[in-house]
Structures are given as C-alpha cells and as structure tokens.
Structure 1
Amino acid sequence: MLGWGINAHGQLGLGPSAVTSFIPTPQRIPFFNDYACIQVASSLTHSVFLLDDGSVYTAGNNEYSQLGREGRTTLPEKVTLPQQANAVQVACGQNFSLCLTSNGKIVIWGSISGKITNDDGFFYEKPEYLGGFIEKRIIQIATGYTHCLGLTDDGTVYAAGVNAHGQLGLGHNHDCVRVTPIVCLRGSPIVFIACGAHHSLIISKSGTVFTCGLNTSGQLGLGDTDSRVWPSNVKSLQQQKVIYASCGEKHSVVVTLEGGVFSFGSSSHGQLGHNSTNDELLPRKISELMGSEVSQIACGRSHTVIFMPNIGQISTFGLACAGRIDTKLTTYATIPQKLAMPFLPYKTMKQLHRQISTDRNYTSSYRKYKSGDAKPVQTNLQVIGIFAGGHQIFVRISSRAQRPDDYRTLYTNRPLLELNLDFAKWLSNISQSSDTFKDVERFYFLFA
C-alpha cells in the first residue's frame, strides 16, 4: 500500500518518524508489508484500513473517538468490533467511522456531529451496531462530514446524521439520530450511494442519478446553486448510464459504463479537471480523458484521482497536486496529470511473470532479491485500487500479476432483490407460514 498527502496527525499510518505537515511523494506503508490491506477510507485527520481477513485498523487523530480505541497512533492499530464481526467495507466521516460487516450490519464509532458528549445522540465512544434497520441487510455504506447513508439489498436507501442542508434527502432539514428510509425513492431500486461533505449522490439500477443537500458550488449538478432537501434527478446525465461516483467536499465525479468521466461542482483548485477554476453547475465530460477508459475514480476534499486500466496509470488533478503528488507541478493542477511512477498494466505484468518463470537468469536474480541478498534496479508494480479522502491518497499495489479492481462492477454487480417472472412463479407456491414470508413482505413494501 502506498500513501501520501497531509500527515500532520499520522493519518497515513507511516509511523512516528514520518509525522509531518505533508508527504509529497508516494511512500510504502511499512505496516502493510505483512498485512494485506484491501480498502482505505480517510478524513481530514484520520484513516480506516480494511484488511483481507475482515479486520479493521485505524490511525491518526482520536479526539472524538474516531479511531474506535484509546489513544492517537501514527501506526495502524486494530479496532475491536462487536461480536468479533468481520468487515467488508469501511467509511470515514469528519469525526466518526463506519464499517459494514459480512452479515449486513453497520458498526459505528466516533462523533457524527462533532460533539464529545452524547447530548444529541450522535456520539459513540466505542464501536457498536447502528440500530434501526430491523431485518434489513445492508450492502453498502457512504459517509459525508456529518451524515451517513446505508443501502439495503432491496434497493432502499437509509439516512442518518446532521441534516442542515437536506443531505439526508428526507424532505426537511431536521437532524436524524435514527436511520430513516428515503421514501421518495421507492420504486426506483438503488444500486450505489456516495456522499460529499454535505451532499449525497444516489444511482439507480437504470443509471439515473439523484442528488440532494448543499449546492453552493453546483455539486448537485442541477444547473443552479439551490440546495435540495429531496433527491433530484440529474437530467443531463440521463443518457449516460452512470454506474459509479465519488464526491469531494464540494464537487462530484461520475463514471459511465463505457469508462467516460463527468465532473461538476467546485473547481476552486482544478479538482474538476477542466483546465479551469470555474465552478460547473452541470455535469461536464472531462475532455482530457476522452479516448481513455477509466475504471476507478476517487475524490478527496479538493482533489480527484483516476485510474486507466489499459495503460495501468494513475492521473490526479486538484489541490493534492500542490506538492503532494509526485509531479513537477508546484501548485494545483487543473487538468489530469499522470503520476510520475512507472506502474505497469495488468497485461504487461502477466507477460513479465511468464518471462520470469521461463528465464533462468531472471528467475535466479528474482529469487536472490526475494531472499534479501540483493535489490533489483527497478521493481515492477501494478495498481489494484485507488482511494482518496481529506488531503490524502492511497494506492493498493501488487508486485504480482493481479487483475485490478473495476469500480464499475465492484458494487453494481451485487445481487439486488427483484420482482421478475421467476420470482413471481416461486412466490405463488410458498405458504404464508414459510420462513421466507418476511422476504415477501419486504418485496411488497418495496413495490407498494
């Protein structure tokens, strides 16, 4: 795992010797030399790491118990989850953290509202299950600065947290301590959710994009700067088949099934990639990426990261380029800039490993390096996944041929409960006393 960016609180997990205002170039995180980290979520001051065995580690500031354990640490340390649960996804708010467990439950810790007391019901000193879902099974989570969303396997979106700007999509701006379904989306099965600082973005199975919340910079993509308390259809994306999204503090970026990228909202530091610092009130395709297939996107506070699988390269734009990306830029970048690190595409890595297995001289040299006796001049690496948050960037890498993640299918290929002919035939044959009747009631609730 590589990490770079702001590290004033040790949120990169590099250890005490690396605590500084920022790390300008990609650095290997030594802790993960012995542990396989598969996902990272990061806020302005802390990070949450998910390992392949389902365990969760945290690093950084712990003023609001957002690390889920005692003490601030600059090295990742394990979080004890209730009932020894295994996590499958992690997310960070400004001062709180979430993880989704393998049995479809949400574990939360920290302060949603930024208060250390529990006067408002938003403070969780230790990891605990987030209640209110009853029999619902959660398949995805997303967090803003002070709110969170949960997506169930029947395509329903639930929301909780601070709601000053309508970011919960409930038709009002009152805070919600208990998770509440966004009822206006019933009948539109949802497959993906994302959150900016104070806005939310929701994608239906048909590719329709809905947004709500703060809109001062056009981050809702609706052509104006009026905030919304109900999810509103981003009509200019209706023909694009949007399949994945990521949001920064005041900007939004979406990727289509074909790998095209559209961005909108604040471009104060070039984070939209349009060679301008002007805000965009409507989604605009990033022309610099035309002709390139993009399979991964990730947004930090004011920067954007993309991955192009065909060439195996990462490009970045926005504030994180101001001394925090390994490029020659000294300020922010307003157009995508390739990371000056020679990653190899998956196909090349496969060919290279075939060569290693057949070339005796290469194999001997490789084994000598692996034993620690010598180091090769250059290590061949490929990108598996990219993550961003706050002013940080993390990249999951591999020195072996491994197919990189494709965010266009990583989430949207999950099984979603549907009413179709096969299900209708099955439904007609079951008894009301059957254990599956609860599932039937869920379908009725969804389509009523």
Structure 2
Amino acid sequence: MAVDGEGSRRALFVWGANSYGQLGLGHTEDVVLPQALTGFNEENIKNITGGGGHSAVLTDAGKLFFCGQNKDGQLGLGHIEDVTQFEFCTSLADCPVLQVACGWDFTVILAGTGQVLSCGSNSFGQLGISQTSAGCSVPQKIESLQSKVVNVAAGLRHALAVTDRGSVFQWGIGMASLAKRACQGGMVPSFLRAKEPCQVTGLEHTTVKNVTSGSFHATVITEEGELYVWGSNKHNQLVSKDYFLLKPQKIETHYFLGEKIRRVWNGWTHMVAQTDTGKIFTWGRGDYGQLGKNVLEGQVQDLKRSTEHSLKELLCIPATVPSLSGASQIACGSEHNLAIVDGQCFSWGWNEHGMCGNGTEVNVCTPQPIETFRSAELRLIGCGAGHSMAFCHLPGLNYPQ
C-alpha cells in the first residue's frame, strides 16, 4: 500500500488462482476475495496483466515487476525459480517499458524505443528468435523485427506486433497445427508457421492501430474502426462458418448495429468489443458464463441437444450486454472477465479458483459488482488465465488486510 500527499491510500488487490505465487502474496494458496498487497508500494501503475501462471505490473516510469511461475524464465529475472512476491526486472532498469503482454509461458515486452524483447519458453518459436528452441530467462531483443513497434499481444504460444506504419507481424507456431489441418494439404501462410516476426498478409490495404489475441486466434482494429480476425474458430469466436481462418477476415459491422469498433478484448475462446457509442458486445464460447449473458451451463447443454441454431443465436453471434455499456475498462482472463463501469468493478465467468472475487468458486453468468470495491475508485484492472488484479484508490478509507 502507498499513501500520497493528500493522505489517500492506493493499493494493488489480487485474487484467484495462485498455484505458482502469481498473486504476489508470498504464498501459493488460491484467494477467493480480493486481498491487498502490503509489500508492493509502487504508486503510479500503468498496466497490470498476467499469463498462464505469472503476473506483470508496469509503472508509469516504465519499471516492470513480475511474480509467479518461472520454470521457463518467463519472469525475465535471470533464473527459473518461481517467485511469490513481485520483483523488479533489473535487466530492464535502463530500458523503460511501454507495454507488456503475457502468453502461457512467455512474455513479450515493448520498450520505449519501439523495440520488442521477449523471455520465457521458446518451444514454439514464441520468442521470435529462430536460431534456438531454448528458452531465455533474461529479456532479449527480437533483432529481426526492425520496424518501430507501437503495440504487442501474446496468445498461448504465439505473439504479434503492430508497427508505427500500421503493419502487423506474427511469430510462434502455436496456430500452425490447426492451420495445417485447415489447409487440407495446401500451403500454410508464412506468418502462421514463422519462428521469427513475419508480416501478416491480407491487411495490406488497411492501417492497423491495435492487436489482441486469444489462445489460438488474433484480432486487429483498423484506424477506420473495422475488426479483422484470423486463426481458430472452434467456438465461433470469429463469427465465421470456417473452422479456421487462414487469413484476416473482417467481421461485418451489421453484427455491431452498424457501429465502429473502438476496443476489443480476448479471452482464450471468447471476445468482448466496445463500439464508438460505448455498447459492449460479447460472443464465442460461453459455457462458463464468460459472455455475461444469463445462460446457465445446464441451459447450454440443453441447447446443444436441441438446435445448433439456437445455441449460435445465444452464444456465438455478437450480442450486447447492457449492464456493461459505457465501460471504461475491461480485462479478460482465459474464461473470466473484469470491467469498470461507472467506477465500479464487475466480474463474471469461470470462477473455479475464486477469480470473480465474490468469495465463492461458483461460476458467475452475468456481470456482478465485487463488494470489496463498492467504495473504491478503480484505476486499473487486469487478468491472468485464472487470476485477477485491480489497482484502487480509496480516499480516506483503510484497505482490508
């Protein structure tokens, strides 16, 4: 916790899965209610995010802190021991960081210079360094990515970057086996089988401003507010009849009531998007409640046994979630989500490890406010695969210990 000049208190709260110490609390027990970190006093946090079992906190000053699973060196700390409390990445002390993205067992880092670094497992080429399959415990520059990068994203075993000219590069072969089956003996596009950054084809006539990724799919938003997607469509998260999209395909605006897309977020197999007017749409896999629609798991199974068309209507075609309209922030874990709406923190979806923060391990099918933050001023939210984080400001109130 930290106190500013006016006596206001700030703290980073964490909850959910904690098998590797990814909550930074100094132990490895799951936490079902948000708990404040007492040993982390960085005041100005810019971004919080997580991967399969690790967490990253980025400050306004460009300092990067990690904790959690580290067997492949994904924490960039120069060793492969798990870490149960946030530690400063000293190797980047002289390299201010702009953005960090966490994959399943690796990390991608965007430096202030526009260069991209990576650390962790490289068994699928996800570090962008093709010369070796060995992992790396200290962030290394991806030398072959010469263009200035402005945005990065990580999937389970692949990564992406957007350049200052609006081009997109992809590396890591996490999607390759699915793509090969989709090709039925044909040639898999280079960017889906590259172990070094390779330009994504099919976007040459667009200017991309942002890239995000699910487990085995990717999404970009163009300057015109158009949404393009490619990769696995196993759960209809790409709104296509094809099982796998080998090249970027635009999701037509009529799915979003003709409105342009402002932002998009990805779980492993579901998507959340916000239009220019603030409407929130969700679609894709929904059997854990991660779409925020009032469809219980039992109802989903009943629908699967009845008509596939009904299931698609309810889960796989973008539909609005009115209670989230106007959300200022959203974060997606593998199958759960957080949102800040009118200053309140909401959660919904998979809750097996308590990542919804309501004190139970029962899945949450519609967005519900987290009572711990009822009086809080939420600044930032972030998710790992099965854990959640929030940076809060509570003027004049004490944080729960």
- TM-score w.r.t. the length of structure 1 is 0.73
1:124 alignment partner in structure 2: 136
Supply the distance in 2 between the matched residues of 1:225 and 1:4 (Cα, whole angstroms): 37
Larger RCO (alpha carbons 8 Å, 6+ apart): 2
Equivalences, count: 354
Q: Say whether 1:335 aligns with 2:366.
A: yes
1:385 positional shift = 1.3
Change beyond 3 A, Cα 1:72–1:120: same
CA contact (8 A) 1:211 1:234 kept: yes
Deviation at 1:288, TM superposition (A): 4.1
State the 1:393 CA deviation: 0.9
Deviations 1:149-198 (A, max 9, x none): 1011111111111132349xx83685211101113211211111100011
- Taking a change above 3 Å as real, the CA distance of residues 221 and 120 of structure 1, as seen in their structure-2 partners, is farther
Tell me if 1:146 matches 2:157: yes
Task: Give the secondary-structure state (helix, strand or coil) at the position aligned to 2:209.
Answer: strand
Query: What is the SS of the residue equivalent to 1:7?
Result: coil
What amino acid sits opposite 2:266 in the alignment?
C
C-alpha distance in 2, partners of 1:286/1:166?
32
The match for 1:302 is: 335
Does residue 398 in structure 1 map to residue 377 in structure 2?
no
CA distance in 2, matches of 1:66, 1:221: 33
1:182 paired residue number: 200
**What's the secondary structure of 1:81's corresponding residue?**
helix
- Offset at residue 124 of structure 1 (A): 2.8
Provide the TM-score with structure 2 as the length reference.
Answer: 0.82
Distance apart, 1:29 and its partner CA:
1.5
1:282 counterpart = 2:301 = no
Among candidates 111, 115, 135, match of residue 121 of structure 2: 111
Q: Distance in 2 between matches of 1:342 and 1:137?
A: 39
The amino acid across from 1:212 in the alignment is W
Contiguous gaps of at least 5 residues in structure 2: 1-11, 181-187, 301-310, 397-401
Per-residue Cα deviation, 1:192-241 (whole angstroms, up to 9, x for no partner): 1100011101111111111111111111123x351111011111247221
Matches of 2:346 and 2:195 in 1, distance apart? 39
Return the match for 2:45 from 32, 37, 40.
37
Q: Does the aligned pair in 2 maintain the 1:113–1:122 contact within 8 Å?
A: yes
Does the C-alpha gap of structure 1 residues 23 and 178 become closer, same or farther in structure 2, counting only changes over 3 Å?
same
**Offset from partner CA, 1:64-109 (integer Å, 9 cap, x none):** 1111121221011122336821101111011101111111111100
Q: Distance between the aligned counterparts of 1:145 and 1:322, measured in 2? A: 20
Secondary structure at 1:385's aligned position in 2? strand
How many percent identity over aligned positions? 25
Amino acid at match of 2:144: G
Distance 1:138 1:173 in 2: 17
Greater Cα shift, 211-220 or 272-281: 272-281
CA deviation profile, 1:36-61 (whole Å, cap 9, x unmatched): 33212211211122122211111111
2:345 to 314, 318, 323: 314
Aligned alpha-carbon RMSD (Å): 2.5
Deviation at 1:128, TM superposition (A): 0.7
CA distance in 1, matches of 2:349, 2:203: 33
Aligned to 2:117, the other structure's residue is in SS state: strand
Structure (1 or 2) with the greater helix fraction: 1
- In the other structure, the counterpart of 2:399 is none
Q: Report the counterpart of residue 10 of structure 1 in structure 2.
A: 21
**Which consecutive unaligned segments of at least 5 residues does structure 1 have?**
345-380, 402-448
Alignment of 1:46 onto 2:79: no
Larger mean Cα displacement after TM superposition, 193-202 or 238-247: 238-247
